[in-house]
A = this chain, B = another copy of it.
Amino acid sequence: MNIKFQVDEKEEYTILSFELEGNLPPSELKEVKPPNLIGAKGVVLSGRGPIWLYCYLTHVYHPTRFVATYDPRVGGAVVAETHCKEYSVGDIIKLDI
């Protein structure tokens, strides 16, 4: 499996970074084993990869507090899904990545 995950725990969320070694064929998506994360926190996804990988991970981490994706163009992570009052869709979480 040519994907490596790195977990960085922050107080309110976990930064889940991934790195692809070369290309990830769609047929290997079902072999990807994302790490178990603390559902009481949010998850920030970061890495260069196809959109369907991000959508897959968004679904995997659906039970967590919120899911945000790092976007270098906005200089932070944008909340895409939330189940709490403190974070709204479209909120930007400033990060040093």
Contact = CB atoms under 8 A, between A and B. Distances in A.
Interface residues of A, number: 31
A91 B88 CA distance: 32
A56 B30 CA distance: 21
Q: How many copies does the complex hold?
A: 2
A55 interface: yes
A19 interface: no
A51 B72 CA distance: 11
Interface of A: 26-30, 45, 50-56, 58-59, 62, 67-69, 71, 73-74, 78-81, 88-92
7 contacts: A29-B80, A50-B78, A51-B69, A56-B89, A58-B58, A59-B59, A62-B62
